[in-house]
Amino acid sequence: AQSVTQLDSHVSVSEGTPVLLRCNYSSSYSPSLFWYVQHPNKGLQLLLKYTSAATLVKGINGFEAEFKKSETSFHLTKPSAHMSDAAEYFCVVSVRRSNYQLIWGAGTKLIIKP
């Protein structure tokens, strides 16, 4: 069975400081992993995805994530936070054997302090 755990429901950082959003997954098969972002009252936008190629994945808006199989983690990082990064971030796992259904984490709300 697949599962996703986002370790923090809220993360608060000051503008210009690094961002770290933590995600651990569990999967019996080789997973595909995604981060989606949802700004207030907006839709879900794909930030980045890992599909068994390079373990360090670069996404949009300066975000990146590293797939660490030994730690079953897929943490999202950004070197310097911007006010426009304030949003909710979802870590998601997908397995081909499950018809590509997405298993969603509970979400992490990122708060940016001026």
Partner 1 sequence: DAGVIQSPRHEVTEMGQEVTLRCKPISGHDYLFWYRQTMMRGLELLIYFNNNVPIDDSGMPEDRFSAKMPNASFSTLKIQPSEPRDSAVYFCASSLLGTQYFGPGTRLLVL
Q: What is the C-alpha R_g of the chain? A: 14
List 60, 83, 106, 111, residue binding partner 1 (CB under 8 A): 106
Is 107 one of the binding residues for partner 1 (CB under 8 A)? yes
Residue whose CB is less far from partner 1, 37 or 81 = 37
Residues 31-60 interacting with partner 1 (rule: CB under 8 A): 32, 34, 36, 42-46, 49, 51
Binding of partner 1 by 27 (CB under 8 A): no
* DSSP-derived 3-state class of residue 73: strand
3 binds partner 1 (CB under 8 A): no
Amino acid letter, 54: A
Q: Which two tokens stand for residue 60?
A: 């949009």
- How many C-beta neighbours within 10 Å does residue 65 have? 26
Should residue 61 be labelled a site residue for partner 1 when binding is judged by CB under 8 A?
no
| Binding flag, residue 24, partner 1 (CB under 8 A) | no
Nearest to 37 by CA among 78, 73, 87: 87
The single-letter DSSP state of residue 53 is S
Return residues touching partner 1 (CB under 8 A).
Answer: 32, 34, 36, 42-46, 49, 51, 90, 94, 96, 99-102, 104, 106-107
